[in-house]
Copies of this chain bind each other. A is one copy, B any other.
Amino acid sequence: MTCESMKIPDIDCVRDAYRRIKPYIHETPVVTNATLDQLTGANVFFKCENFQKVGAFKIRGATNAVLTLDNEESKRGVVTHSSGNHAAALAYAAGIRGIPAYIVMPETAPVVKINAVKHYQGMITFCKPTLESRESTAEMIVKNTGALFVHPYNDFRIIAGQGTAALELLQSTPDLDIVLAPVGGGGLLSGTALTAKSLNPQIKVYGCEPANADDAFKSLAANTIIPSKDPVTIADGLKTSLGDKTFPIIKQYVDGIILVTEKEIIDAMRFVYERMKIVIEPSSAVVVAPLLFRKIDVAHKKVGAILSGGNVDFEALFSDLRRRYDAS
């Protein structure tokens, strides 16, 4: 039975994904911070997917999906619609096999995101900045080219690939008590939870979510998917809602969802920049905020937290610096 035809993927799907993608990804470092450990009374281990290729964990799932295709079906290429990290990740993964990647992006997408896709030779088709236009444009490309649509999270190959971050984390730091992962569409959280719980059923796994985009929190409470509608949050990677592939895994394996405010996300991001000296995107800061603001009791525990990515557009900051130092 292939992982795609299972009811829920198992740990072997994650292990197979890891064997498949290992030559093409970085084994990212795990870092600690003495100040945070003092503040929380815990030992916190951050898995730094901000240092991953393409700047985010998304490369894991996208590469697994592309490498899972058989030669015949892969030839026609892959397609997705995304304004974020999945777009660049899929273009990178397609490049490994030398197949085309058709990327549908809203015409309003930030220049850095467009450049990232171009850098990996993705073929961009621009569309109107609505979900409808994104989906219809992608469908048209599928129809015209026969390329395969690769969803950013609602796909077991993607979920198994994202699970490899937790696999690496638990290989290097096996005795964790708690694992935290951000939740948007649920690809990373479902992969993380099924991996962690399969390796050690005693581990507690929590999803961390912006209170302004709390569909996972609500969906778990209601036992049915309740999508967020146009949520406004600085954690732009977490605006998406759970899908029918990620929700059942999260229901089965996740112990709870921790909500954080916009201010907590921003303050947590600042803590990481100023104290840990690493660049993370706001979606990563949602796993730091619960620790910093004591939304969860972690005293005397070993906590793993996945920093999902580090793609930030610093144009505003640096153009201001250039102005101040008369250096344009």
Chain B residues, CB < 8 A from A274? 112, 279, 312-314
User: In the complex, A278→B318 CA distance in Å?
Assistant: 15
Copies of this protein in the complex: 2
From A126-134, A177-185, A216-224, A320-328, the one touching the partner chain is A320-328
- Residue in B262, B279, B322 whose CB lies within 8 Å of A278: B279
From A90-98, A248-256, A265-273, A292-300, the one touching the partner chain is A265-273
Q: A263-B327, A266-B322, A317-B317 are in contact. List 18 more A-B contacts (CB 8 A).
A: A112-B274, A234-B321, A234-B324, A234-B325, A262-B326, A263-B322, A263-B328, A266-B321, A266-B325, A267-B318, A270-B314, A273-B314, A274-B314, A277-B278, A277-B280, A277-B310, A278-B279, A316-B320
User: In the complex, A266→B325 CA distance in Å?
Assistant: 9
Taking beta carbons and an 8 Å cutoff, which residues of A are in contact with B? 29, 50-51, 55, 112, 232-234, 261-263, 265-267, 269-270, 273-274, 277-280, 310, 312-314, 316-318, 320-322, 324-328
User: In the complex, A205→B234 CA distance in Å?
Assistant: 44
Chain B CB within 10 Å, residue with most, of A50, A265, A277, A322: A277
Min distance, Cβ A167 to any Cβ of chain B, angstroms = 22
User: In the complex, A267→B312 CA distance in Å?
Assistant: 15
Question: What 6 pairs between A and B have smallest CB-CB spacing?
Answer: A262-B327, A277-B310, A263-B327, A277-B279, A262-B325, A270-B318
Min distance, Cβ A163 to any Cβ of chain B, angstroms = 22
Min distance, Cβ A263 to any Cβ of chain B, angstroms = 4
Chain B residues, CB < 8 A from A270? 314, 318
Chain B CB within 10 Å, residue with most, of A261, A270, A324: A270
Min distance, Cβ A58 to any Cβ of chain B, angstroms = 15
Chain B residues, CB < 8 A from A310? 277
Min distance, Cβ A30 to any Cβ of chain B, angstroms = 12
The answer to whether B233 and A318 have CB atoms under 8 Å apart is: no
Chain B residues, CB < 8 A from A267? 318
Chain B CB within 10 Å, residue with most, of A261, A321, A322: A321
Chain B residues, CB < 8 A from A50? 277
Chain B CB within 10 Å, residue with most, of A29, A324, A327: A327
